[in-house]
Amino acid sequence: MDYVLKYRLFPDGQQRERLDWVRDTVRQVYNHALHRFNRIPEDAGTVKQRVTQVRDELPELKDWWTDLNNVYSTVLQQAVEQIETNITNLAKRRDAGYDVGSLNWKAPHEYRSFTYRQTGFELDDNSGPSGRGLLTLKKVNGETLQVPIRLHRDLLDETDVKHVTIKKDRTGAWFACLNVEQAEPDKPDPAELDTKDTVGLDLGILNFIHDSDRRQLGRLNLSSDRERLEHEQRNLSRKQHGSNNWEEQRQMVAKVHKRMRNKKSDFKHKVAAFYTTEYDAVFVENLNVKGMLESGRNSRNTHEIGWRDFITILKHHGRKRGCHVVEVDPKDTTKACNECGVKTDKPLWVREHSCPSCGYTTDRDYNAALNVWERGLEKLGVVHSEDRTPAETATAVEQTHRESVSASRVVETGSPCLKEATQSVAE
């Protein structure tokens, strides 16, 4: 399996200048290649064939653009081939229903990376106690650079580094993104899975996760970071655009954004690592996040929480650790009673599930997590046995068929009409 490891680089002043020179030169090559690509008629071949035609012009381009001789050849080739990748990504977004345009030239602040493929780099990970190694890069403005790199996680001996992307973020920090390949561990046979080694996750807004083993995980609190961001953005608005003070303040805003992104990413990766390590199968709802954002209800919270991003991370950790990650149909997971299957409409403010049919009472999110768990077991083909301890349950009423119950029959815990509603159900 392929995945990316990101490490911080610590170039000195001269090395920064050389890395910036390569980055900007590669950007100009990309813009030139895009110009040449757009001039080739569409009927001259597929996108890949036209990109290959432009890439094959690089040796001739070096004859009059002599600076390109100071850049490693695969770095230039990767910049040209990036056009094909970008066009493919645009087509995918168009097919997904997004409004997309065409590729444009990149300004200096928009092009932030360049890539070595297979060769042209060497990693010395014999870092010792300091955690610092050396990343050797060839032909960086004609020189071979040895850039200090902080290896905060070890590379396994069997890891194969396929290519390295050198990236400068908006704060001015440099990173090395190593695309590595490792053998993907085998996942357990679903027929042999123990249901105790499986879990269902209900993703929410008040609580980020409520699982079928009764764990509740609150959402990440970023209120102080948002206040800091608003403060720094106000300061930025008072600076003269393009001045040195404006650029310094822009980097301050970028650092706050980066800190918030890092907190979200770290939180999601740790949660995903926990579940895929503790369980052999994790079941989660296949949420239509795009539709939720378009509906306007809780769109800010939905966007900030990032459910789809978490599911993607969860799948990545599942492949890495040999854990099944299965998405199930989210329809009526909150409405359906896990005991009898009767569907009960609930407003968002009702946090308790109280079935008017069988009397089953439990937390709203726990009931949904159990439904996700059972649907996941069915979809994966795991033999289901009742091994979850039920929550507080009233005397069950025999139910021969499933029906949908209106929200008027559901009351919030502590409501003055609770006793009246309970009597009505008992009758």
pLDDT tens digits for 120-173?
998 887 655 556 788 999 999 888 999 999 888 777 655 678 899 999 998 889
User: Do residues 29 and 81 touch, judged by C-beta distance below 8 A?
Assistant: no
pLDDT of residue 153: 78
User: Do residues 325 and 286 touch, judged by C-beta distance below 8 A?
Assistant: no
pLDDT of residue 424: 37
Is pLDDT above 60 for 296?
no
Indicate the residue type of 77: Q
Across 148-157, 217-226, 227-236, the highest mean pLDDT is recorded for: 227-236
| pLDDT per residue as tens digits for the range 190-216 | 888 888 889 999 888 778 888 888 888
pLDDT of residue 380: 86
| Across 168-192, average pLDDT | 87
Closest to 385 (Cα-Cα) out of 167, 172, 195 = 195
Across 125-129, 224-228, 374-378, 398-402, the highest mean pLDDT is recorded for: 224-228
pLDDT band at 92 (very low <50, low <70, confident <90, very high): confident
pLDDT of residue 278: 92
Pairing of strands 207-211, 352-354: unpaired
pLDDT band at 422 (very low <50, low <70, confident <90, very high): very low
Is pLDDT above 60 for 62?
yes
User: Lowest mean pLDDT: which of 40-54, 97-111, 336-350?
Assistant: 336-350
Q: Between helices 244-278 and 223-237, what is the axis angle to 10°?
A: 160
Query: Average pLDDT over the chain, rounded to whole?
Result: 81
Is pLDDT above 70 for 271?
yes
Is pLDDT above 90 for 42?
no
Helix ranges (DSSP H) in 110-243: 223-237
- Token pair in block for residue 238: 């008072």
First and final C-alpha spacing in the chain: 59
pLDDT of residue 126: 66
